[in-house]
Each structure stands twice: as structure tokens, then as C-alpha cells.
Chain A
Amino acid sequence: MPEAPALELVCPAGSLPALRAAVDNGADAVYLGLRDGLNARNFPGLNFTLEDVHRGIEYAHGRGVRVFVALNVYPQPSRWPAATAAVDAAAAAGADAVILADPGLLAYAAERHPQLDRHLSVQASASNWRALEFYRQRFGVRRAVLPRVLSLAQVRRIIERVKLEIEVFGFGSLCIMVEGRCALSAHVTGESPNTHGVCSPAHAVRWQELPQGREVRLSGVLIDAFAPGEPAGYPTLCKGRFEVLGTRMHALEEPTSLSVLEVLPQLLAAGVSALKVEGRQRSPAYVAQVTRALRLALDSARRDQARYRAPSASAAALDRLAEGHTHTLGAYSRPWH
């Protein structure tokens, strides 16, 4: 089983080709979900069969790359047997860790598979050291993924206080709400990350071409309208244009991606253990490019933290792939709040 490096680059895999793309382009670890609706990217045509999990683990381990299985939903009683079976399957397949959010499922995994590392999913909303300590003490969690609501200074202070590996988001779509505590999608579509492993699901999306441009709706609710030629993004609820106080605006957030490229040395200095790339729903080509760009930047930052500047090749590649071709430091930067 491969060892974790000092700062692990953790890349998404929604399919076997995406997993190979991540492994071949410099990921230290990949994370994937099973095709059973029990993870937070429960999209049609996405995710792994058990057979693919075995093949993926064989491919990754053969190249020194670790594999984590995300089971980060909150199973309701009817799904409980499937959820525990998925934990068992991940353990049997030789996964290096399971990524869990549900306290009951964490307890199950700790009891049944004590040797299998448990990572606390971002969906557990653990945003302070006492909450993190709760999960460590109760369930022997080894690593936690922090919600995208913390400033760099807050991340640093948490790492000083906890006896856990800390993983943070490095690149990809930006959840602006505390993960695990957002029901915007549930309110509009009836499906959310907590209940169905989806946000603003594709089946609820309707595009309409009109003389004045394009409209996009989610379960009938108008999320945005675009003038002819105006770039139009996916209608995630928190990136819509709405009216507040008589003004039309991106009232919650603009369409943009999170990127930590420019603060990698600060993250290294803070003692972050792993950098997560969002995007199990993305193509193998996307995964390959993002992985390559971040690998280059991370290696550069580790060689010389003091004189690090984001490699221009990495910056250009990531901006091309970013939502709205623009990026933000999100909550890492205080003025964003």
C-alpha cells in the first residue's frame, strides 16, 4: 500500500478513464464513488461498479497512488443496508480510506473495519477544532476535509489545535454554503446533497432559446437569463442572477471556480496534509489537465516556498478550465466574506 507524501494531491475520478488520467498526470491519491447513489456526485452515467473499483485500485496501487472511496451521504433507514454494504465492499476491495460524513456510518466503519482509514467528508460540516475533535475521539477519524467557509488564518489555527490530517479544497466548483448544511437544491428540486447526493440535478434543468436570448430554469424556477452571445453557465442555485432590493445581481455568488494556486506556499506552511480537487463529474481530459497543472505548481512550491510564483502554464490551464473562466480564493480570503 503506497505511503502518503507530505502534501498529497487528491484528484477526482468519476470513471476508470478519469482515474487513469489522474494517476498518469501526477495525482498522489484519487477518490471515487460507487454507482449506488451513496456519494455526493450521484449523477447518471457516473461512478464505479465494484469491478471497476477493483481495477482502479489495481491500476493506482501499481503506480504508487492511493485510492479513497467516498460514501459521503446521509443514508436514511431504507438505504442503511446498502450503505453499510458499500463500506464493507470498499474495505474488501483494498481501498486506502473511506470518506464518510454520517456519524452512524462512521461508527459502523470504526467497529467493523478498524484497520480501514476513515476520512471525515466535507459534508460533515466540521468547521472548528472542537467538532473535529468530536469525530476523532468518537470514530478514530484520521483525516478531515474542511468546509469551504474558512479563511487561511482559520485553517492555520485549526491545524495547530487538532491531532488530525487536514485536507482542503484546492481547485474546482465552489460551494459557498457550508457543505452538509445546504438545502437550497432540496427546496427547489426536492433533491439535495444530503438526501440524494446531488445539487441542482441535471434532470431538473430546462434551457430555452428565446428571441431575446436563453433562459435556464431549475424545476421551473428561473435561475438566469442570458443575452445572445453572453456566456451561460450551469444553473447551480447559488450562482443564479436574482433580484434583491430592486437590483438584479448574483446575490449569492458569481459563476466562478475556487483556485488556491496563488496561496500554495501558505497552505504548505500551515501544515495542510492534502489538497483536494473537486470534480468527479468532469471528463478524463479535464482531470488530466487540472492534475498536471496542480502537480507542476505543487512541486514548484515545495522546491522553494519563499520564491514561489504560480507557474504561468498552471495558471493559464486552470483559468481555461474554470467556471466563467475566472477564479476566486473564496473564503480563504477574508474580503470574500
Chain B
Amino acid sequence: MKLAVGPLLYFWPRPQVFAFYRALACQPVDCVYLGEVVCSKRRALHWREWAAIARELTAAGKEVIVSTLALIEAESQLAVLTRIAQGPVTLEANDMAAVQLADGRPFVIGPHLNVYNGRTLRLLADLGARRWVAPLELDSAAVAGVLADRPEPLEAEVFAYGRMPLAFSARCFSARARRRNKDNCGFVCGEDQDGLTLFTRERQPLFALNGIQVQSAGVCNLLGSITALRAAGVQVLRLSPHSEAAVPFSQVIAAFAAAIRGDDAAQCPPHALPGGECCGLAGTAGR
């Protein structure tokens, strides 16, 4: 079983982004996803700087994949996607536009493409998919069902740690919370290093607002489910980046690496975010 670090979903200051990936180079992860999935306005790093990070990680023996936007509306966003797709990179496609642009070259099916059955999975495998990141709505039993006649050598990956992406909108909720709109956002999402927690009126942490994305307030942690995931046919676990203020991320990586090696005592360090922990998406915020 392999460990992957998912794309950075938040808008961090440049030095923090560089420091995060520099530290990853010497940590026990096999695969790193780079790039922006949430908002095309965020451009903390120039593409040349992303390319430099990719080179460093590749030199450190990591597999590097470039994740693409989940919601593509504008011509300018398609132009950026086209430029990325023309480069010498493997894409994680989070929209069918990226599948179309991969044009037969190997790609990863991102968690935001809706693959819920074997027929769809085979269809995308025929178009070049070599890994499938399961939608977060599927638990390990449902993943096993979709993989029942897996097209070899397609790999399966699941989201295993972090606040879970739940929805995308045309609207920016980080801006709305501050009485702004998207065209006038002032990049206020940069103030929320792990998303902005939304509470119910009785102070139950429910969601986290992250630009146009809504996440769970609770942190998904599938460390205790590794045996079931392995049995379901999952080969890659995705850890979604969080800031040091939320959790010592290197210790999360170390815990998952130990658990994969068979260390039953491995445990993630506690995190400081409101919302606690949960074992996946389905119904876990309700009672």
C-alpha cells in the first residue's frame, strides 16, 4: 500500500507552501499531488515555481501528479488547463474537460469525477486512466463493489485523512462570510489556513468554508480502517494537507506509514480543528 499527499486545498502564503513541500521531500510518502483544485484566482506560486517543486520531489523519489480544477467555467480556466495538459506531467482529472485534454495519455481519475460503477471505470480506463481516486461518498464496501472487475493495472486510491471536500459552487463562501463577493474577494480565504469553520446555531461545528468549496468540519481519519481498505482492493491512501497550526502533518504521515507496515499501535496526533474526527463521509455529521 502506498501513501499519497493530496493537493493543497487551502490558500497559504508562499513561504508556507515552499516549506511544506521541502519537508515532504524527506518524508515517507510515495506520491505527491500538486496544483490548484479549488480556485483559479489563487496564484501564490508561478507555474515555474510549481515545476521546480515537482523536480525536487521527483529527485527525492516521489511520483508527482498535477491536480486540476474541479469547477471549470471560464475560457481562461480552460486555457490554463490546456497549458498544464500539454506539459510533461500526469494529470489528476477533476473535470471531464481534463479527461478530454489528456487525449489518451495516462491520467488519474480525481475524486470529483463521478465514478460509481464498473462500467464507467472501465470506460475511463480505456481512455487512459491508470488510477482511480474514489468519490468520498463511497465507503470501503462500495469501493470494493466498483472494483469487482477492475480493469488491470488500474490502481485505487481513497481519501484517508483531512477535512473532506463536500461541494463546489460558483459563489465564494469565504468572501460571503466577510460580506464580499468573488470578484471583489481580496483573497480573504488566505486568512483561513484550514478553512473557516461553520457552526450550527447550537455551536456544532458542521462545515468548513474554503473559497468556493465546502468541506466537512470534522477531519476524516481512516487510519483504523486500513485492513478493510486493503481488502477492498485499495492500494493508495490520500492524506490531505493541513497547516502545522492544525496538526503536525509529518506525524500524520509517520502514523499512516507505520500502520501500513503493520504497526497496530500507530496513531495520528490529535488535531486542533473544531469538529473532531470521523471515519468517512456518509451521514457522519448527523446523529
* Nearest CB on A from B20, distance (A): 26
Q: Is A131 an interface residue (CB 8 A)?
A: yes
Using known A-B contacts A149-B169, A183-B136, A204-B286, determine if residue A251 contacts B177 with beta carbons closer than 8 Å. Answer: yes
In the complex, which residues of chain A have a beta carbon less than 8 angstroms from the beta carbon of B74?
A: 128, 154
In the complex, which residues of chain A have a beta carbon less than 8 angstroms from the beta carbon of B70?
A: 181
Using known A-B contacts A130-B100, A154-B74, determine if residue A194 contacts B114 with beta carbons closer than 8 Å. Answer: yes
B116:A76 contact, CB within 8 angstroms: yes
Q: Is A2 an interface residue (CB 8 A)?
A: no
Within 8 A of A (CB), among B165-194: 166-173, 176-178, 181-183
Within 8 A of B (CB), among A168-200: 176-178, 180-184, 186-192, 194-195
Number of chain B residues close to chain A: CB under 8 A: 71
Taking CB as reference atom, which chain A residue is nearest B287?
A: A220
In the complex, which residues of chain B have a beta carbon less than 8 angstroms from the beta carbon of A245?
A: 177-178, 196
Per-position contact with B for A81-115: 1 when CB-CB < 8 Å, else 0?
A: 00000000000000000000111110110000000
In the complex, which residues of chain B have a beta carbon less than 8 angstroms from the beta carbon of A154?
A: 73-74
Bound CA span A192–B207, Å: 16
Q: Is A119 an interface residue (CB 8 A)?
A: no
A221:B171 contact, CB within 8 angstroms: no
A184:B207 contact, CB within 8 angstroms: yes
In the complex, which residues of chain B have a beta carbon less than 8 angstroms from the beta carbon of A194?
A: 114, 116, 135, 137
In the complex, which residues of chain A have a beta carbon less than 8 angstroms from the beta carbon of B101?
A: 130
* Nearest CB on A from B94, distance (A): 9
Within 8 A of B (CB), among A142-176: 148-151, 154, 157, 176
* Nearest CB on B from A254, distance (A): 11
In the complex, which residues of chain A have a beta carbon less than 8 angstroms from the beta carbon of B214?
A: 177, 184, 252
Using known A-B contacts A76-B145, A244-B177, determine if residue A221 contacts B206 with beta carbons closer than 8 Å. Answer: yes
Cβ 8 A contact of B166, one of A107, A137, A187: A187
Per-position contact with A for B45-86: 1 when CB-CB < 8 Å, else 0?
A: 000000000000000000000000011111101100100000
Within 8 A of A (CB), among B260-287: 281-287
Cβ 8 A contact of A243, one of B137, B171, B201: B201
B116:A128 contact, CB within 8 angstroms: no
Within 8 A of B (CB), among A230-275: 240-245, 247-249, 251-253
Could you list 15 examples of A-B contacts with CB < 8 Å?
A75-B116, A78-B145, A108-B119, A124-B114, A127-B73, A128-B97, A149-B169, A157-B75, A190-B286, A195-B282, A225-B201, A241-B201, A251-B209, A252-B169, A252-B173
Chain A positions within 8 Å of B, measured between CB atoms, are: 74-78, 80, 101-105, 107-108, 124-131, 133-135, 137, 148-151, 154, 157, 176-178, 180-184, 186-192, 194-195, 204, 218-225, 240-245, 247-249, 251-253, 331, 334-337
For the complex of A and B, 7 pairs with smallest distance between CB atoms: A219-B286, A190-B283, A104-B119, A220-B287, A130-B97, A149-B170, A104-B120
